[in-house]
């Protein structure tokens, strides 16, 4: 199933426009590493998710996502819980 | 945790009337560092935005840097000063303070002169103190210096912190004036939170430890919040601000803070690429360079903000004068 999903536009926008990650690396099955995340990008994303969606996701939770798709699901789940 | 508002901008406002800055002669490029540290130019640039920094040799003390910057600011202001405040995290020795020696070398023996330590927010703390001395008429004009040799703080083998820091000094002269004139400083809003003292600490030079991710989080939160407060205190909206002048810690931190404030990149002053993090010198150095190269023009509304070890933070507003 991995790879058959698209990264949702909200996440794609943050990764591309805010974190300035290369757009061509933003595929659902890409690891965070492969997508261009560094240690600061993890914190930047956590802060942005709080700012934009009012959700609290720790750096460790973000790091534990194996792929962008998993990260996307984690964010959607947390937003649904609000 | 506390937030302290200092002098108001009414009668006895502090007005900037002179500025000067200095860097050591020796530029150290990322390539120079990669020769001895396990890192790359790309790694340093992508995480910090820094390409080079200036490092003082053993023959250039914090006092030396302070004297050079201060002399330039005094030349340009041509008003007598009655007090000197030196913000520094790297004084030349534990005791005595560096400021009296700096004052003496400037021919200012006799005036009150003292050091102030508030990490990379030190220059804003010093502005607040100077504005207070002016407001209560202790002094008609005050020399405010930020001088640091931060390159001496990291463990020389630590590839994550060595690239960040550089040495330098900047100084301004504040004189008594009115809030309506060019150069007027707004309220200086300050805060600290010692419960996070461990996030940036150096028990002695060569032993700096920094928790980068947490520092990022706190820096962005504190600087964006206090910047909004300082702008509001001046009656400005953030759209009124011509330039955000953030302490040059790291381009990722300053860029994120600016975006959070809705201030576009072209209204954010930067020089971290060329000088690294110069601590208390950072803001006056950036102001001096940006005024010299025309990025800052008379009448521009500037929003200054800083964050540093302590934790400490602050922000203030400044309308750029005609010919500082």
pLDDT in tens, chain B (324 residues): 444 545 444 568 999 999 999 999 999 999 999 989 989 999 999 999 999 999 999 999 999 999 999 999 999 998 999 999 999 999 999 999 999 999 999 999 999 999 999 999 999 999 999 999 999 999 999 999 999 999 999 999 999 999 999 999 999 999 999 999 999 999 999 999 999 999 999 999 999 999 999 999 999 999 999 999 999 999 999 999 999 999 999 999 999 999 999 999 999 999 999 999 999 999 999 999 999 999 999 999 999 999 999 999 999 999 999 977
Name which of A44, A45, A51 to mutate to probe chain B: the one with the most chain B Cβ atoms within 10 A of its Cβ.
A44
- Contact list in B for residue A14 (CB cut-off 8 A) is none
Contacts made by residues B201-205, CB under 8 angstroms, sequence distance 24+: B201/B309, B202/B153, B202/B309, B205/B90, B205/B152, B205/B153
Scan residues 3-42 of B and list those with Cβ closer than 8 Å to A.
none
d(CA B223, CA B227): 6
Task: Look up the domain containing B15 and give its range.
Answer: 7-178
Q: Which of B218, B247, B250, B271 is catalytic?
A: B247
Chain A contact present for B220, CB below 8 A: yes
Residue appearing with tokens 């973000």:
A62
Catalytic site includes residue B277: yes
* Chain B partners within 8 Å of A58 (Cβ): none
Closest approach of B90 to chain A, Cα-based (Å): 27
In a domain, B126, yes or no: yes
Q: What element of type H or E holds B306? A: strand B301-308
Q: What is the pLDDT of residue B35?
A: 87
- B324 belongs to a structural domain: no
Q: Which residue, among B206, B163, B216, has the nearest Cα to B39 in the 3D structure?
A: B163
Position B1 in a domain: no
B120 is catalytic: yes
Domain end position, chosen among B127, B143, B178: B178
- Radius of gyration of chain B from Cα atoms? 18
Measured between alpha carbons, how far is B140 from A55 in angstroms, rounded to an integer?
51
Establish if B232 belongs to a structural domain. yes
3-state secondary structure of B206: coil
Quick check: A1 pLDDT over 90?
no
Q: If you search the block for the tokens 């750029």, which residue do you land on?
A: B320
Contact B219, B119 (CB under 8 A): no
Strand partners, B184: B15
Contact indicator for B123, B280 with CB cutoff of 8 Å: yes
Q: Let me know if B68 is a catalytic residue.
A: no
- Give the count of domains, chain B: 2
CA distances in angstroms from B295 to A4, B17, B172, B227, B266, listed in the order given: 49, 18, 18, 20, 10
Domains assigned to chain A? 9-81 (1.10.1200.10)
CA–CA gap between residue B172 and residue B146 (Å, rounded): 9
Does B79 share its domain with B64?
yes
Residues of A with CB below 8 A from B252's CB?
Answer: 40, 44
**Are residues B105 and B198 located together in one domain of the fold?**
no
Whether residues B90 and B142 fall in one domain: yes
Contact present, B121 and B314 (Cβ < 8 Å) = yes
Taking the CA of residue B241 and the nearest CA in chain A, the distance in Å comes to: 22
Question: Is residue B81, in this structure, part of any structural domain at all?
Answer: yes
Q: A47–B259: do the CB atoms touch at under 8 Å?
A: no
Chain A residues whose CB is inside 8 A of the B213 CB are: 39-40, 42-43, 59
Which residues, other chains included, contact B48 with Cβ-Cβ below 8 Å and sequence gap of 6+?
B163, B164, B250, B251, B252, B272, B276
Same domain, B54 and B99: yes
Whether residues B65 and B11 share a domain: the answer is: yes
Q: Do B213 and A40 touch (CB under 8 A)?
A: yes
Edge-to-edge strands, sheet with B83-87: B11-22, B167-178, B141-149, B83-87, B113-116
Residues B167, B280, single domain; the answer is: no
Closest to B258 measured CA to CA, from B249, B163, B165, B45: B249
- The dihedral sign for the CA sequence B177, B182, B183, B185: positive
Q: Which residue has the tokens 């010919």?
A: B323
Pull the structure tokens for residue B236: 């400005």
In the three-class reduction of DSSP (H, G, I as helix; E, B as strand; rest coil), residue B181 is classed as coil
Residues B143 and B74: beta-carbon distance below 8 Å: yes
Neighbours of B123 (CB within 10 A): 34
> Three-class SS of residue A74?
helix
CB B250 within 8 A of CB B237: no
Is residue A4 pLDDT above 80, yes or no?
no
- Of the candidates B252, B259, B260, the beta carbon closest to that of A40 is on B252
Tell me, yes or no, if the pTM score tops 0.80.
Answer: yes
């Amino acid at each position: 199933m991995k790879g058959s999903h698209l990264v949702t536009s909200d996440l794609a926008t943050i990764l591309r426009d805010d974190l300035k990650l290369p757009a061509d690396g933003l595929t659902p099955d890409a690891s965070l590493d492969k997508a261009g995340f560094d240690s600061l990008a993890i914190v930047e994303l956590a802060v942005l998710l709080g700012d934009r969606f009012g959700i609290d996701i720790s750096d460790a939770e973000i790091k534990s996502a194996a792929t962008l798709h998993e990260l996307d699901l984690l964010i959607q789940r947390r937003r649904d819980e609000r | 945790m506390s937030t302290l508002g200092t002098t108001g901008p009414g009668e006895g406002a502090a007005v900037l009337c002179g500025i000067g800055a200095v860097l050591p002669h020796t530029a150290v490029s990322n390539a120079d560092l990669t020769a001895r540290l396990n890192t790359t130019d790309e790694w340093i640039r992508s995480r910090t935005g820094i390409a080079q920094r200036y490092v003082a040799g053993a023959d250039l003390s914090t006092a030396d840097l302070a004297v050079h910057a201060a002399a330039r600011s005094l030349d340009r202001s041509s008003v007598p000063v009655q007090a000197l405040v030196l913000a520094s995290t790297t004084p030349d020795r534990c005791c005595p303070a560096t400021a009296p020696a700096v004052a003496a070398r400037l021919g200012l023996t006799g005036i009150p002169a003292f050091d102030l330590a508030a990490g990379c927010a030190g220059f804003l703390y010093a502005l607040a103190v100077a504005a207070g001395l002016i407001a209560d008429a202790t002094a008609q004009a005050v020399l405010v210096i930020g001088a640091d040799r931060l390159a001496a703080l990291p463990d020389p083998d630590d590839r994550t912190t060595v690239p960040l820091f550089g040495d330098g000094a900047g100084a301004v002269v504040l004189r008594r004036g009115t809030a309506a004139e060019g150069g007027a400083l707004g309220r200086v809003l300050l805060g600290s939170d010692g419960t996070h003292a461990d996030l940036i600490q150096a028990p002695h030079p060569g032993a700096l430890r920094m928790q980068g991710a947490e520092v990022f989080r706190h820096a962005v939160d504190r600087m964006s919040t206090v910047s909004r407060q300082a702008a509001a205190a001046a009656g400005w909206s953030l759209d009124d601000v011509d330039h955000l002048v953030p302490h040059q810690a790291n381009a990722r931190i300053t860029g994120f803070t600016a975006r959070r404030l809705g201030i576009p990149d072209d209204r954010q002053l930067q020089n971290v690429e060329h000088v690294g993090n110069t601590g208390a010198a950072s803001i006056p150095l950036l102001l001096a360079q940006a005024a010299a190269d025309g990025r800052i023009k008379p009448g521009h509304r500037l929003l200054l903000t800083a964050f540093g070890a302590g934790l400490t933070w602050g922000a203030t507003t400044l309308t750029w004068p005609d010919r500082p």
